[in-house]
Amino acid sequence: MTSFKVLIVGGGVAGPAAAYWLSRIPGTQITLIERSSQMRASGQQIDLRATGIDIIKKMGIEPVVRAACCHEPGTQMIDVHGQVKAFFPAAKHGAARQSLTSEYEIMRGDLVKILYKLTEDCSNVKHLYNTMLESFTQDDESKPDGKVHVTLSDGRKEDYDLVLAADGTGSKTRKIMLGPDAPDPRRRTGGYVAYFSIRSQPGDSDRLTLCWLPGPRMARCFMTRKDCPELLRIYMIIGQRDAAIDAALQSGDLSALKKAIADIYEGGAWQTKRFMDALLHAPEADDLYCTPFEEVSLPSGSWSKGRVVLLGDAAHSGTANGYGTSWGLIGPYLLAGELANYTKKRTTSPCAPHLSFKPRSNTRRCFGPWLLQVMEGVTGPSRCSRPERHSVLLF
């Protein structure tokens, strides 16, 4: 095969990972498009677990990732007075017992930079910023040399042998692939998760700290993390839908979003006043990000259609499952392996890469239920953990 052109849509985690693995296949020419004007090196702390760690070792970047990791010794649960009630040590790679803290905690932007660096000097990989996929059509699957005919946001029209959609939970590529009459595969599973930054103070813990706040309106929770000395990251879990938050998200009004969240947390204990004052008035809090709890659940066999394949959150997002980043690394590795076999055999089946990738859709979501219990307020140590599944130290 002299040339195999691949378009990757999305420059988060799955997109650059796919670019790396595909660049190793002889004859591939890869174009990665990203709608932002530059590399999206923003975002909060994420973690790698299980097979995701094995993948970064195969990529040869484990030492670099480890060097960039945040120091977080574990997760502590506190009451509304700030008293520690339980502690979950950071989960080591390969351990059966998991906690909210992984051995590999890293800022999203740092991981994205590491992944991009793998292909920045590759002659067969091209990165295009400020570019989106507008539309596409594709030839019939039975045509061995068929193409995907793509129109980009700058008006260019290109033909590709394969299109990989790594453009997130709200994937436009997925919507086009499924068709205008297909139901939206996104499903709301609760309220919202939000985060912002504030200036740190002496006494702020370097542990992930979780505090459940009972209240009359809805379930509320704070989590704090400290990835650098200057800043404290505030994560908020809001247990139910709220009309004011939905309206602010729809309009993009940051001030309205801040006020809606502050109203929900009004009267909360622990450090609620400090956090909400900072949210409303501190410039550091302008990095506020809020998204609904939702998951992408596609029927069996729907991860691809013809020569278009979904990866990462576009295929199997789950806001609270704890494995999103790892899945964003695993999918590209598996798909690239199948594509390598496909190009070697020069099979006439255009859907060959899908055959061995499809069964991985049953990946076990063992961490999600525990986190969802926490989100719903089941934070008593005797209920949110079982000794055979989680290591917990009680005080």
Its pTM stands at 0.83
Note the pLDDT tens digit of each residue in 174-211: 999 999 999 999 888 888 999 999 999 999 999 999 99
**C-alpha–C-alpha distance, residues 98 and 113, integer Å:** 27
349 Cβ contact list (under 8 Å, min separation 6): none
Note the pLDDT tens digit of each residue in 340-380: 887 776 654 445 455 444 434 444 444 444 554 554 543 34
Note the pLDDT tens digit of each residue in 14-24: 999 999 999 99
Q: What is the pLDDT of residue 225?
A: 93
Q: Is 27 exposed, middle or buried (0-12, 13-18, 19+ CB in 10 A)?
A: exposed
Number of H helices, E strands in the chain: 13, 19
Q: What is the pLDDT of residue 122?
A: 95
Note the pLDDT tens digit of each residue in 99-144: 677 788 898 899 999 999 999 999 999 999 999 999 999 999 888 8
